[in-house]
Structure 1
Amino acid sequence: MSPRTPAVVVVGAGPVGLTAALTLAQRGIHVTVLEQGAALATESRASTFHPPTLEMLEKLGVLEPLLEKGIVAETFQYRARGGGEIATLDLGVLAADTAYPFRVQCEQSKLTPILRAALPATAEVLFGHQVRSLRADTGRVVLDTASGPIEADWVIGADGAHSAVRQALGVDFHGSTYPERFLVASVDEDLADVLPGIAPINYVFDPDEWLVLLRTPEHWRVLLPTPDGTDDAAELRRLPARLTAVADLGRPWRLLHASLYRVHQRVTERFRHGRVLLMGDAAHVNNPLGGLGMNSGIHDAVVLAGALADVLGGAPDVVLDRAAAYRRTVAIDHVQRTSHDNWTRLRARDNSGHARLRALADDPVAARAYLRRACLLDVLAQRP
């Protein structure tokens, strides 16, 4: 630990926390990142980067190595279960809006080492520092960690949905839980061979068993809904049959990993609590349909850490208040609403929306407006 009190402590060394740390450190602010694990997480979790996120990462100087590791996805598809393609949307219609009119498919665990390596000397990452509690007053914040107390001028909680920082503040995390769990399976198969014409990103409609098929650099991921209240082991035993129902390979699919998790839509009442900021999953969680969780978290980090840097540089305190209020509005009015609408659309019991999607794909003007909203370009254009 550096002998001097860090200006900012960031709790959590995921993509959100490390983006916040890099944003601050590049402005010359001393930052210490506390990570409870012994190393950066390696789980294959969020895997889609939207155009405005790519723009932010480019400004931070970390986009090129991400592009080298990822897959450029210029299109994504809506498909019907057993019925083939409904509509293919081409992100190329955003060429006038962004230098990166595509998504990049790459697991977040490949971004975090890139972010850490880019940190300048004004930042350090300390592993094995689980935060147990904190005390904040008008002049400082003291964190009680597994490795002893640490003082800071400001604290950023970017430590996920079970945020110790948020819990230490004693603030509510209002929202709801979805009626089914999500099962994510990573498979060692080339689904393009058995499902000709599929895009790297596919949303498959079905009222009883919708699904999502995503290409990542090493494998395909399959996301399936799973009834609540069932036994995990039983659900994993029936997974091979469910995969065969997606595409019959004449043999069992080569399954690399599978996990079940509950999905929530929740948001905390404020993203700023005096000298403590909350961002990413520590501040808001949503379902993963549309790939908005990690992306909006990275946007939180850039906007809020940037506003904090402005205040530390002499800007009025209200700048940070406005940024925090804006990011909460985005989380509620856009991220949560859009992700929930995606869930509702996939499980619709009629095909009335299919014709609208086909018309949308055939109309570049309408497709551009739709994609600007879907990839968060519109909301960033409204930032204060």
Structure 2
Amino acid sequence: MTPHRVLVAGAGPVGLVAAAALAAEGIPVLVIEAERDLPDGLRASTFHPPTLDMLQRFGVVEAMVEQGLVCPTWQFRDRAAGPVATFDHAMIAGDTGHPYRLQCEQWRLTRLLRDRLAADPQVEFLYDARAAEVAQDSDGVTLTVERPDGTREPLRGAWLVGADGARSAVRKSLGIGFEGETIPELYLTLSTPFPFHDHVEELTNIAYISDPDEWFVLLRTASLWRVLLPTDANEPEEYMLSDARIEERMQQVLPTAAPYEIRHRTAYRVHERVADRYVAGRVLLAGDAAHVNNPLGGMGMNGGIHDALNLAEKLAQVWRGADPALLGRYERQRQKVAREVVQQQALRNRALLNQKDPATRQAFLDDLRATADDPARHRAHLLRTSMIQSLRDLEAVA
């Protein structure tokens, strides 16, 4: 007998949003997490306006705003010349209930959702259980999980949502292709309490700094500034992450009399990949399990949350008797966004920041400046970069 429930592999933002949306439809859910508790690493921190609009239904946005940092504006800068174009979300106030980006670490959202779900008797959590392999038949899905001591346990459900990250065991177990490319440089992310806003003229809380030799990104959260630096992948990790090397690079970002206090440091490879399929029988992929991209523009986690809500809406209809073919539209819609919006915008951002040809680079910057200065283009740019336009365009995907 197949337990009358949906299995959700992964308790990150995507998995927990999917679980919350399914539970709101009266569907029993078992959330399976590989770690002993919810992950709390410093990963994504940017929430776009339509994502906040979507999360409003769960009663968590007010707390996120209290814990995070509201950022009405963001900008592109030239490392030598300063601000090039500043974009103001007030231009799209009529298109969203949250005309700003919210800088709030993703772990804050997952804990708020878990607190909400803990009161729902239809939702169970299973920790210390790493997804290992998947089998399915016409009646349901069996997810085999592995415990820390090496023992394995089969879990049965009617459907499985694979939200278990870029290295998804769910995706791999089903043999679903994950083609794409790997960006040649590593991304080094550092967090510091240093108040860049007090030392850099006209700096907004989110700033992309273009430079032909070394671009970087500054992102402010409620308590820290995060600095993203491209890094030569051939640089030995022990040297790259050493105090001396990090101090050298931070002094290049902004020279200071005193050394920088670094609270967190991590380096990671960046990929641009999209799964061949998001739907395989009774298994549905979402978030990083379905698509990964570079973080420039903050679209990865947001796109994953959009996946989760799109998926949950359609799965709820199927749960109540609709044709399972409806889930094919989920795949078509969300693959389109991953390929044509998220990846392309992230690649455009990287190309702009990293452009070395002086004429091409100047043309890029001039076009950005002209976009910010023209109200119609300014608004259209914000609709696209905030992901509102991609959600509107999905309605045309059959």
Are residue 5 (structure 1) and residue 3 (structure 2) matched?
yes
1:303-326 deviations in Å (ceiling 9; x for gaps): 011110111112222221111211
TM-score (norm 2): 0.94
The match for 1:17 is 15
Looking at structure 1, the residues matched to 72 and 363 of structure 2 have their Cα atoms a distance apart, in angstroms, of: 26
CA shift at 1:83, angstroms? 2.0
Counterpart for residue 348 of structure 2: 341
**1:1-384 counterparts in 2 under 5 A?**
5-119=3-117, 120-147=120-147, 148-237=153-242, 238-349=245-356, 350=358, 351-384=362-395
Q: CA deviation at 1:363?
A: 1.3
Pairwise CA RMSD: 1.3
- Percentage of matched positions with identical amino acids: 45
Give the Cα separation in 2 of the matches to 1:333 and 1:357.
20
Any idea what SS the aligned residue of 1:315 has?
coil
Secondary structure, aligned partner of 1:186: strand
Cα drift, residue 11 of structure 1: 0.1
The alpha carbon displacement at 1:138 in A equals 1.6
Q: Distance in 1 between matches of 2:389 and 2:28?
A: 32
Query: 1-side partners of 2:49 and 2:265: how far apart?
Result: 29
Deviating more after overlay: 361-370 vs 296-305: 361-370
Q: Which amino acid aligns with 1:154?
A: W
What is the deviation of 1:61?
Answer: 2.2
Displacement of 1:382 in angstroms is: 2.5
Paired letter, 1:377:
I
Distance 2:289 2:4 in 1: 22
Q: Distance in 2 between matches of 1:51 and 1:340?
A: 21
Provide the secondary structure at the position in 1 that maps to 2:394.
coil
2:288 maps to amino acid: D
Contact 2:46–2:102, Cα closer than 8 Å, also in 1: yes
Question: What SS is found at the alignment partner of 1:289?
Answer: coil
Aligned partner of residue 32 in structure 1, secondary structure = strand
**Greater Cα shift, 234-243 or 28-37:** 234-243
Q: In 1, Cα distance between the equivalents of 2:109 and 2:258?
A: 34
Partners in 1 of 2:154 and 2:393 — Cα distance? Answer: 40
Q: How many residues align?
A: 382
Per the normalisation by structure 1, the TM-score is 0.97
Q: Distance in 1 between matches of 2:6 and 2:205?
A: 39
Q: Counterparts of 2:194 and 2:249 in 1: how far apart (Å)? A: 15
Q: 1:249-306: CA deviations, max 9, x gaps?
A: 1121111111110000001101000000000000000000000000000000000111
Preserved CA contact (<8 Å) 2:164 2:288: yes
Q: Secondary structure at the match of 1:255?
A: coil
Secondary structure at 1:72's aligned position in 2? strand
Distance in 2 (alpha carbons) for counterparts of 1:31 and 1:365: 44
User: Is the contact made by 2:179 and 2:274 (CA closer than 8 Å) also made in structure 1?
Assistant: yes
Residues 321 and 4 (structure 1), Cα distance of their counterparts in 2 relative to 1, 3 Å cut: closer
Letter in 1 for 2:347: H
Report the Cα distance in structure 2 between the residues aligned to 1:89 and 1:142, rounded to whole angstroms.
Answer: 48
Q: SS of 1:9's equivalent?
A: strand
Q: How far is the alpha carbon of 1:6 from its aligned partner?
A: 4.4
Runs of 4+ in 1 over 4 A off after TM superposition: none
* Contact 1:270 1:325 survives alignment (8 Å): no
| One-letter amino acid of the structure 2 residue matched with residue 133 of structure 1 | E
- State the partner residue of 2:150: none
| Partner AA of 2:124 in structure 1 | E
Contact 2:2 2:157 in 1 (8 A): no
Question: CA–CA distance in 1 between the matches of 2:29 and 2:122?
Answer: 6
Q: Secondary structure at the match of 2:144?
A: strand
User: Displacement, 1:78?
Assistant: 0.6
- In the alignment, the residues of structure 2 paired with residue 242 and residue 362 of structure 1 have an alpha-carbon distance, to the nearest angstrom, of 33
- Asked if structure 1 preserves the Cα contact closer than 8 Å seen for 2:2 and 2:140, the reply is no
- Tell me the CA shift for residue 240 of structure 1: 0.7
Contact 1:6 1:32 in 2 (8 A): no
Secondary structure in 2 aligned to 1:225?
Answer: strand
